[in-house]
Amino acid sequence: MRIKVINGNTFELMTQEIDRIAQQVRSPHVDIVTTQPRSGPQSIESYYDEYLAIPGILEEIILSGDDFDAFILACWGDPGIEAARELTRRPVIGVAEASMYVANMLAARWGVVTTQHRTLDMIEKTIHKAGFSHRCVSIRTTGIPVTQTETDRPATVDALEREIRDAMACDRLEAVCLGCAGMAGLDLELEARLGIPVIDAVAAAVKLAEAMVGLKKYTSKALTYQSPDPKPILGYPDHMQP
Amino acid sequence: MRIKVINGNTFELMTQEIDRIAQQVRSPHVDIVTTQPRSGPQSIESYYDEYLAIPGILEEIILSGDDFDAFILACWGDPGIEAARELTRRPVIGVAEASMYVANMLAARWGVVTTQHRTLDMIEKTIHKAGFSHRCVSIRTTGIPVTQTETDRPATVDALEREIRDAMACDRLEAVCLGCAGMAGLDLELEARLGIPVIDAVAAAVKLAEAMVGLKKYTSKALTYQSPDPKPILGYPDHMQP
Amino acid sequence: MRIKVINGNTFELMTQEIDRIAQQVRSPHVDIVTTQPRSGPQSIESYYDEYLAIPGILEEIILSGDDFDAFILACWGDPGIEAARELTRRPVIGVAEASMYVANMLAARWGVVTTQHRTLDMIEKTIHKAGFSHRCVSIRTTGIPVTQTETDRPATVDALEREIRDAMACDRLEAVCLGCAGMAGLDLELEARLGIPVIDAVAAAVKLAEAMVGLKKYTSKALTYQSPDPKPILGYPDHMQP
Amino acid sequence: MRIKVINGNTFELMTQEIDRIAQQVRSPHVDIVTTQPRSGPQSIESYYDEYLAIPGILEEIILSGDDFDAFILACWGDPGIEAARELTRRPVIGVAEASMYVANMLAARWGVVTTQHRTLDMIEKTIHKAGFSHRCVSIRTTGIPVTQTETDRPATVDALEREIRDAMACDRLEAVCLGCAGMAGLDLELEARLGIPVIDAVAAAVKLAEAMVGLKKYTSKALTYQSPDPKPILGYPDHMQP
Amino acid sequence: MRIKVINGNTFELMTQEIDRIAQQVRSPHVDIVTTQPRSGPQSIESYYDEYLAIPGILEEIILSGDDFDAFILACWGDPGIEAARELTRRPVIGVAEASMYVANMLAARWGVVTTQHRTLDMIEKTIHKAGFSHRCVSIRTTGIPVTQTETDRPATVDALEREIRDAMACDRLEAVCLGCAGMAGLDLELEARLGIPVIDAVAAAVKLAEAMVGLKKYTSKALTYQSPDPKPILGYPDHMQP
Amino acid sequence: MRIKVINGNTFELMTQEIDRIAQQVRSPHVDIVTTQPRSGPQSIESYYDEYLAIPGILEEIILSGDDFDAFILACWGDPGIEAARELTRRPVIGVAEASMYVANMLAARWGVVTTQHRTLDMIEKTIHKAGFSHRCVSIRTTGIPVTQTETDRPATVDALEREIRDAMACDRLEAVCLGCAGMAGLDLELEARLGIPVIDAVAAAVKLAEAMVGLKKYTSKALTYQSPDPKPILGYPDHMQP
């Protein structure tokens, strides 16, 4: 079984870290290849960042041909996931939705904690897209940028602990999704400090991707996720023409 | 890895069928034990059936001690799942929620097809409990009782096909969950006829249970799913006293 | 007119207190019999408690034959109410829903205050089941167990006052339902202290039950609440076989 | 116990019919006085009708001083009910909400059938105001004007039967509220024809009003339903100045 | 192009202020006439006030014949707007909805700040009526009566600033609608103090009314907003008979 | 006043048609420049199309510097609108939201009719993004591709008429938004045939853009729509680096 994990941004340090976690949690018989797009921003912290990241993410799907059994979009926001599903019959799993399914199986009241304050609206839309607007009881932000989340682990962990503790007290939070692929690997330390399930989105997605491949189910091509119709798309290379 | 699958009813033929599917889809290193409750109805088709089934289902959790790494409630309705989660730190996965997560990853517009017309309200509540009231676009019923669903496969498959086709035409359904553990194993035939993903709930739950165990995450004991407080419970055996 | 009030738990002191309130508010021509199940927990403070209470509650309906004109489920949570409605054509009124209808007629912004913190999720589901998720503006918990709620009245009243005052200030609460049958009879003291309507759920249910009997309307047997179909139910006595 | 029933329109035949039903269902010790406003339209079938009816309805509350223990607004739409609650501490019950509470206790899937097609939007807002947008599964209209509903009983009953049957087939309706005070008294004939609970809104409101008076609870004056502040109101008589 | 602005209350100072703002923002080729109803309260701060204001507001529409190209209801609450739309084919714009459309185009997270605490429920219903229950993130009240809002500008501006700052901190508010026509003209001062868009509802409505007239679109007469059917309406002058 | 209208796709014939309508409805003192992106698909009929169109759309905002007072995104779907709002303080109006605001002011029950069946999910998300999930009563698709919608007017108008008539009968539709910029200019013909308001999204957006500029309000830079933070974005030209 081969799974391709696509980091949503072009920050190599984060790609490596995502790969490290993915390799750690994969089952023995699973090959994982972690990549990052050829184009796009160093981090996704605005809608502008997100929309400029998506073509590169989709290119990673296209370039893979039939080499993989499943794809993981490793950016909490699952950017472009609907289009990714149009491009392949293989299951495409977003790390955001994966972490929410896991949270939903472990706790009655769960939430999400993420990075910059300005992404609050993006996070709400991501939760709505997966269908969980009425289940998620708390959304928190640390105010720490994505790249610093990756490079300054101690400050990040402290800020996350602070926000999660506050949500436990105020919103009666019982489990939390780490809402940024850049937080991959921080779950154990936070669980030790907080005593509630803390869900690493990349790890969750790897296990769900394995499950989906094991199920042998494919993306529906009945309507919404049909392949894009052929048409000229200016300014994109040949391999991205549908 | 050991997983216990608990059929929600006491119909042995269905327990065997559920076991057959579960053994088929499990990964090689996984042991699966399928059981049925010592008490409860032959099939769950009313609220009365459901509520009389739950104590027996919970007893199956209690009797297992620490012998299993995860539990599956194999009745579309996930009866008693909140109490099951109170009784163990191990992940408890309902076949209903499992099939909905899978559908949600495969299609933009998915639905559920189940047995008796009278269970419509129960099915709606199950969908709401998992959080998907705003995602599921169609709920259909064949009118065929659960036991007949198990014993008369040809009529069942024809009725399912008819309902799903109607939902595809009217509700633009793109994928469908088989909303009864008694339909386990019918997915492939229906996929062949219909051309859209048809999700076997038992199979979905087995793969998600493997994923959850692989993730090494435990049910939150922070609030809702804490162990039941000790107190006398009249009319139940010693091993069911909390 | 004869009404049967069924305490949801097996705590005799609470059954007596519920009866005291019910006898107090009943109309002169109404006979009220208050009972408690033969089986089930001393108090309902977890999903486990609730699911183990329900068979005994339903047995109380079955044992009544046609002796009563209406039934009241006296546990805020209305446990098993859908199944109770399957078992009889007589109106079945839950104390939770009854108190919410009354609140809804008296105030624009109302809420619920209950016992243990861990029941928050159960309370939310009860409110949703009655249909009022979008109307109830505040849910509060005192953290006091059900039995202590019954036995330590002064501490209970003080804790309730504190929570309700806080909800009045923060959530602009204008009326409140006492969310536990064990709080029966505390409404007047709290109204005197707080100046807003405080609704005793048992009293509300008695008056609504009288109203329903007076209306001569019966539970719909058209679909959801049809009688359970005959089938073997293992481990339950003959009189509980449908 | 004295209850004032206020017909929302100025159609005397309907006022008499409402009174007839109210007298029929009232308990022996209850006095009922049915009135109609001094001003306002002959029937309420548009927003214009409704808004011109409300001052006269409110005047009926004001003119009553402390002579009544409860008030009933006898127009499905509960026009001006929030203002009526500002004007008195006595319970004010709308026939629309009363019928919906009753339906909600009798059936899992209930609906409303009313008169003119154009009132569909008004009916939806009424259902939302009571809090039941997510519970009511079907809204139907006969297309017959309110006054003709009152005067041509056979045609009305036939049209109602047709719409309700259609809702039973299409929407799986299990009980229905007659959504116009002009349909008062038609419930028994329709129940006989259809076999599901048909709820007469006036009757429902009378029994709930009796219940509310019996409960001795008063409208909250904490915030929304405080008495209107004194201020000049041009064009209205002295007794309507707050 | 001629637009009639109808102040919802009969407070002449407010009518003048509304007119001042409307004249200020209107386009050069637009004639604006601002009026107030012949009947109704000096300010709208309760449901009673609102319902007694509406007939006078509607009379202003009726008296206008075909003299105007559009109407503006200048009271945050858009009182009687559905009936106003029944009375004319010309576009009728409420200042509440207008300000919300503008906020919705300028900010992801917007709210409303208004006068008396008791109007909270009215404001929520106004937001729901326009369709924005799921978009508006904060509703605040200053506790200052409408007339004082008009006459004591410094205290009003300070109170508004305080509430908005609090909403910015707590609810992450990014733009705010001034939820009372009596606050007309305070937007610039508040924007200067707060640095977020502050929307004057009267100004918003004037510009949207110009846009609607420019579009040459008319109120739908297909169903809900059909002209009221002819019928006697007691207690109203001839020109108000439909 | 200068307004830039950005066609979402790169189909020149559609850009010309959009411009023709925009010039027709603009006020005399308004300059309108209609452009199309340098990159992107010929039509937007899939998520893939949409996501590949957005960078080019955003580039059009960036290239404009301060030359325009407002921007219009002329694709029903308002692709990338959140990012467009990050890039400028000038108002950015989407044709989808504009048409829905207009519909919401003209009718109680409105809907949307669009092109390919597969875009149903995209349309639902667009309606949700504007906030109107609970207001829009009908979504219809003709099945005709975007480019053919532009080139084969008679077939398009007939198909639209058919779908709208069906929605009028089944969903009680009272007004409809033409859900594709390629339908610009068809509103009058359809209004003549159908007798209900038919809203041309481009025209609606032009008038709302004029209104927004007249209001002198700017996009909130408080949180969500702050300018993107500077960071390297691989594969995009210098002028697109934030």
Is residue B133 predicted with pLDDT exceeding 90? no
E226 lies within 8 A of chain F by CB: no
Neighbours of D191 (CB within 10 A): 18
B104–A204 CB contact, under 8 Å? no
Comma-separated ranges of CATH 3.40.50.12500 domains in chain D: 2-95+203-219+231-240, 96-200
To the nearest whole Å, the CA of A128 is away from the closest chain C CA by 18
CB contacts, 8 Å: D242 with chain E = 46, 48-49
The arrangement of secondary structure in E2-95+203-218+236-240, i.e. its CATH architecture, is: 3-Layer(aba) Sandwich (3.40)
Which positions 104-163 of C are in contact with E (Cβ < 8 Å)? 108-109
Is residue E162 predicted with pLDDT exceeding 90? yes
> Backbone phi, then psi, for D175, in 5-degree steps?
-160, 155
Confirm if D201 and D96 have CB atoms less than 8 A apart: yes
pLDDT tens digit sequence for A124-141: 999 999 989 889 999 999
Question: What is the predicted pLDDT for the residue at D133?
Answer: 87
Tell me if there are at least 3 CB pairs under 8 Å linking chains A and C.
Answer: yes
Q: What's D2-95+203-219+231-240's CATH class?
A: alpha beta
pLDDT tens digit sequence for A84-93: 999 999 999 9
pLDDT tens digit sequence for E79-123: 999 999 999 999 999 999 999 999 999 999 999 999 999 999 999
What average pLDDT score do residues F198-215 get? 98
What average pLDDT score do residues D93-100 get? 98
> Backbone phi, then psi, for F21, in 5-degree steps?
-65, -45
Is residue F182 predicted with pLDDT exceeding 90? no
Is residue F66 predicted with pLDDT exceeding 90? no
Question: What is the predicted pLDDT for the residue at E70?
Answer: 98
What average pLDDT score do residues C200-204 get? 97
Confirm if A74 and A5 have CB atoms less than 8 A apart: yes
CB contacts, 8 Å: D222 with chain C = 107, 168, 173-175, 195-196
Confidence of residue E12 (pLDDT cuts 50, 70, 90): very high
Residue E31: C-alpha distances to residues B13, C50, E2, E18, E70 (Å): 81, 68, 5, 14, 11
Tell me which H or E stretch contains D34. Answer: strand D31-35
> What average pLDDT is seen over chain D?
96
F48 lies within 8 A of chain A by CB: yes
Structure-derived torsion over alpha carbons of residues F119, F120, F126, F128, reported in degrees to the nearest 10: -160
Count residue pairs from B and D with Cβ separation < 8 A.
5
Tell me if there are at least 3 CB pairs under 8 Å linking chains D and A.
Answer: no
To the nearest whole Å, the CA of D152 is away from the closest chain C CA by 25
B58 lies within 8 A of chain C by CB: yes
Tell me if there are at least 3 CB pairs under 8 Å linking chains B and E.
Answer: no
Instruction: Return d(Cα B37, Cα C51) in angstroms, integer.
Output: 15
Confidence of residue B182 (pLDDT cuts 50, 70, 90): confident
The domain B2-95+203-240 is placed in CATH, from the list 3.40.50.2300, 2.170.8.10, 3.40.50.720, 3.40.50.12500, at 3.40.50.12500
Instruction: Return d(Cα B37, Cα B232) in angstroms, integer.
Output: 22
Question: What is the predicted pLDDT for the residue at E150?
Answer: 85
What is the side-by-side strand order in the sheet with E31-35? Answer: E31-35, E2-7, E70-74, E92-94
Q: How high is the ipTM of this complex?
A: 0.97
B51–C56 CB contact, under 8 Å? no
Question: What is the predicted pLDDT for the residue at A106?
Answer: 98
Count residue pairs from A and E with Cβ separation < 8 A.
5
A197 lies within 8 A of chain B by CB: yes
Is residue A172 predicted with pLDDT exceeding 90? yes
CB contacts, 8 Å: C108 with chain E = 121
In the numeric block, the tokens 């090959």 are attached to A31
To the nearest whole Å, the CA of E68 is away from the closest chain A CA by 41
B231–C41 CB contact, under 8 Å? yes
Q: Which of D110, D138, D172, D173 should one mutate to test binding to chain B, selecting the residue with the greatest count of B CBs within 10 A?
A: D172
CB contacts, 8 Å: B232 with chain C = 10, 41-42
Question: What is the predicted pLDDT for the residue at B181?
Answer: 86
Is residue F89 predicted with pLDDT exceeding 90? yes
pLDDT tens digit sequence for F91-142: 999 999 999 999 999 999 999 999 999 999 999 999 999 989 889 999 999 9
Question: What is the predicted pLDDT for the residue at F216?
Answer: 97
CATH, range E96-200: 3.40.50.12500
Is residue E66 predicted with pLDDT exceeding 90? no
Tell me which H or E stretch contains B112. Answer: strand B110-114
Residue B175: C-alpha distances to residues A230, B102, E221 (Å): 25, 10, 40
> What average pLDDT is seen over chain C?
96
> What average pLDDT is seen over chain F?
96
Neighbours of A28 (CB within 10 A): 5
pLDDT tens digit sequence for C132-143: 988 999 999 999
DSSP state letter for E9: S
CB contacts, 8 Å: C120 with chain A = 109, 172
Among chain E residues, the shortest Cα distance to C174 is held by E118
C60-63, Cβ contacts within 8 angstroms, sequence gap of 24 or more:
C60/C4, C60/C6, C60/C35, C61/C6, C61/C87, C61/C88, C61/C92, C62/C87, C62/C239, C62/C240, C63/C239
Q: What's A2-94+203-240's CATH class?
A: alpha beta
> What average pLDDT is seen over chain B?
96
Instruction: Return d(Cα D50, Cα A170) in angstroms, integer.
Output: 44
CB contacts, 8 Å: D122 with chain E = 224
Is residue D182 predicted with pLDDT exceeding 90? no
Q: Which of E15, E117, E234, E236 should one mutate to test binding to chain D, selecting the residue with the greatest count of D CBs within 10 A?
A: E234
Residue A2: C-alpha distances to residues A67, A70, A126 (Å): 7, 7, 27
Comma-separated ranges of CATH 3.40.50.12500 domains in chain B: 2-95+203-240, 96-201
D touches which chains (3+ CB pairs under 8 A)? B, C, E, F
Instruction: Return d(Cα B9, Cα C234) in angstroms, integer.
Output: 10
pLDDT tens digit sequence for D9-19: 999 999 999 99
Is residue E213 predicted with pLDDT exceeding 90? yes
To the nearest whole Å, the CA of A178 is away from the closest chain C CA by 23
Confirm if D242 and E48 have CB atoms less than 8 A apart: yes
Comma-separated ranges of CATH 3.40.50.12500 domains in chain F: 2-94+203-240, 96-199
Question: What is the predicted pLDDT for the residue at E229?
Answer: 96
pLDDT tens digit sequence for B31-46: 999 999 999 999 999 9
Question: What is the predicted pLDDT for the residue at D134?
Answer: 86
B226–C10 CB contact, under 8 Å? no
CATH, range F96-199: 3.40.50.12500
Question: What is the predicted pLDDT for the residue at C182?
Answer: 86
Is residue D57 predicted with pLDDT exceeding 90? yes
Comma-separated ranges of CATH 3.40.50.12500 domains in chain C: 2-94+203-240, 96-201
pLDDT tens digit sequence for B54-72: 999 999 999 997 899 999 9
Tell me if there are at least 3 CB pairs under 8 Å linking chains E and D.
Answer: yes
The domain C96-201 is placed in CATH, from the list 3.40.470.10, 3.40.50.12500, 3.20.20.70, 3.10.20.30, at 3.40.50.12500
Question: What is the predicted pLDDT for the residue at B184?
Answer: 83
Is residue E222 predicted with pLDDT exceeding 90? yes
Instruction: Return d(Cα A199, Cα A103) in angstroms, integer.
Output: 7
C172 lies within 8 A of chain E by CB: yes
What average pLDDT score do residues C79-99 get? 98
Instruction: Return d(Cα D199, Cα D5) in angstroms, integer.
Output: 18
